[in-house]
Amino acid sequence: MNRIMFDIYNLIQELSWCFGSQGLGGKYCGDLSFIEFIALKKLCEYDDITVLEMAKKLNITKSGTSKIIDRLENKSYVFREPSPVDGRVCYIRITDKGVNEVSKIIKRYTDYVSEMLKDLDPIVLDHIKKVLELLVILGGSSLES
């Protein structure tokens, strides 16, 4: 096994843990699980998204996505709206409460990261950003294949 690849994998996994709700003691995502937060965040980015489209964006099954949407609906963060064109299609809409919750969570995480990285040189911060962007692009493309 290539040691550097093993180390990179472990570091990515540690980052995932650190920035998921469990790694931050649950306090940063309020009453949302991390996957619920990510789903809400995606709903802020896209208009007119169906459960199937959301499943593809989350890279999970349609039934798994439906369960997440059910939980978000029970918390009044989203609602389902049938398509006026095709009754079999249902759009997921985020409520004002959902938008406000996402905004609060993003601010908490941004403050957390800002405090953690405050002493780094701007050039180093730019390098970190570029490496993370590359990992997201490469990781996303490998999930689609």
Determine contact, residues 39/65, Cβ cutoff 8 Å.
yes
DSSP designation for 21:
T
Helix, strand or coil, per DSSP, at residue 49: strand
Grouping H, G, I as helix, E, B as strand and the rest as coil, residue 131 is helix
Identify the pLDDT of residue 1.
67
pLDDT of residue 145: 38
- Taking residues 62-78, report their average pLDDT: 96
Question: Which residue matches tokens 């800002």?
Answer: 114
The answer to whether the predicted template modeling score (pTM) of the entire model surpasses 0.75 is: yes
DSSP state of 57: H
Check residues 136 and 65 and name the one with the higher pLDDT: 65
Q: Give the pLDDT confidence of 80-125 residue by residue, as tens digits.
A: 999 888 888 889 999 999 999 999 988 988 898 899 899 999 999 9
Please state the rounded mean pLDDT for residues 69-81: 96
C-alpha span between 131 and 4 (Å, rounded): 16
Number of CB atoms found within 10 A of residue 72's CB: 24
What does the pLDDT read at residue 41?
Answer: 93
pLDDT tens, position by position, 14-68: 888 777 665 555 566 778 888 898 999 999 998 789 999 999 999 899 999 999 9
- pLDDT over 70 (residue 71): yes
Q: Residues 6 or more apart from 77 whose CB is under 8 A from it?
A: 32, 36, 40, 94, 95, 97, 98, 101
